[in-house]
Amino acid sequence: MPLQSLDIVRRSATTTPEPGVRRAYTGTVAKLIDTTKCIGCKACQVACMEWNDLRDEVGTNFGSYQNPADLSDRSWTLMRFTEYENPKGDLEWLIRKDGCMHCADPGCLKACPSPGAIVQYANGIVDFQEENCIGCGYCVTGCPFDIPRISKRDRKAYKCTLCSDRVAVGMEPACIKACPTGALVFGTKEDMREHAAERIEDLKSRGFDKAGLYDPPGVGGTHVMYVLHHADQPALYAGLAPDPHISPLVRLWKGRAKPLSLAIMALTALAGFFHFVRVGRNEVDEQDEEAARRSLAAGGKPEMRP
């Protein structure tokens, strides 16, 4: 990989070590979504569709400003709108841009059984390599934020790439560029945490005592973070996970169960070997050859006897 920011540090279902000479000395990147500056204009949604050349269906309105109705293989980001009446009796319209959080410890990558279908770059971006995707959907189960979607057309998994193609050449993701209010900002994770701290101070001066940064430790932190007015209640924001973790099943599968499953696989191979030694190979007799000749002459596929 010639682009060092796209150096791969982790690859799904792969045990060979990744190159480690270069290690993101400039720090990892992060997108900061300031929900308190967001006006829900959806410019980010449109920019995402334009840059990634995606066009979802023209859907219907289901009684909300939220459109399309959900994330999909062609909608990688989405504004989710929540009306919340605070204890003072004042209304708040909480608007959250939903999409991949680019976890430092990505559940999708952990769960993925297909070598190289999901990779994590040195800059922190978690990317899907659809050509390696087998469409099993384990990434969907593995994701604590319910982000990946399996396409009905090609049975492959899709999600936000954090515009890894743009970031690799020193540009900000398309959504950041389109945001008119500066609710979306992009930079090193360290800078974004600093920027968030300033924003939180401002919010506290406006009476949001619980304003804070969402960078959940349960997934090792994320490379997409939120500034929330109510950091103590992330679930207010259209069900943002309060304390996300990789699903116990995935951890079991890739953790303690892994040696066991490897043992079972080894055992299966061993059983095959002994079967071969004991029974020998499956040989073709004259009757099989005759059946195949007949079938080919009739233009069909060769019949196989069980």
Q: Where are the beta strands (DSSP E) in 28-137?
A: 29-34, 78-85, 91-98, 118-121, 126-128
Residue 77 touching other proteins (CB under 8 A)? no
Does 88 participate in binding other proteins (rule CB under 8 A)?
A: no
42 lines the binding site for other proteins (CB under 8 A): yes
83 binds other proteins (CB under 8 A): yes
Q: Rank residues 138 and 186 by Cβ distance to other proteins and give the closer one.
A: 186
User: Is 71 a binder of other proteins (CB under 8 A)?
Assistant: no
Helix (H) or strand (E) holding 270, with range, is helix 257-279
Q: How far is CA 72 from CA 102, 255, 261, in A?
A: 17, 30, 33
Q: Mask of contacts with other proteins, 89-108, x by CB under 8 A?
A: -xxxxxx-------------
**Cross-strand bridge partners of residue 150:** 157
* Residue nearer to other proteins on the CB measure, 58 or 277: 58
- Sign, Cα dihedral of 73, 75, 79, 80: negative
Give the residue with the Cβ less far from other proteins, 201 or 232. Answer: 201
What CA–CA distance (Å, rounded) separates 61 from 302? 53
Site for other proteins (CB under 8 A): how many residues? 42
Distance CA 306, CA 298 (A): 20
By beta-carbon proximity to other proteins, the closer residue of 13 and 69 is: 69
46, 235, 260, 264: which one binds other proteins (CB under 8 A): 46
User: Rule CB under 8 A: is residue 276 a binding residue for other proteins?
Assistant: no
CA pseudo-torsion sign 112, 241, 151, 160 = negative
Which of positions 161-200 make contact with other proteins (CB under 8 A)?
Answer: 180-183, 199
CB 253 within 8 A of CB 111: yes
Contact 24, 5 (CB under 8 A): yes
Alpha helix (H) residue ranges in 56-120: 107-111
Subset of 196-225 contacting other proteins (CB under 8 A): 199, 202, 205-206
Indicate which single residue of 2, 16, 20, 60 sits in contact with other proteins (rule: CB under 8 A).
Answer: 60
| Residue 57 binds other proteins, judged by CB under 8 A | yes
* 251 near other proteins, judged by CB under 8 A: no
Using CB under 8 A as the binding rule, whether residue 43 contacts other proteins is answered as yes
Q: Under the criterion CB under 8 A, does residue 68 sit at the interface with other proteins?
A: yes
- 11: helix, coil or strand? strand
Closest by Cα among 107, 109, 151 to 127: 109
Amino acid identity, residue 175?
C
Give the residues lining the site for other proteins (CB under 8 A): 36-43, 45-46, 49-50, 55-65, 67-68, 75, 83, 85, 90-95, 180-183, 199, 202, 205-206
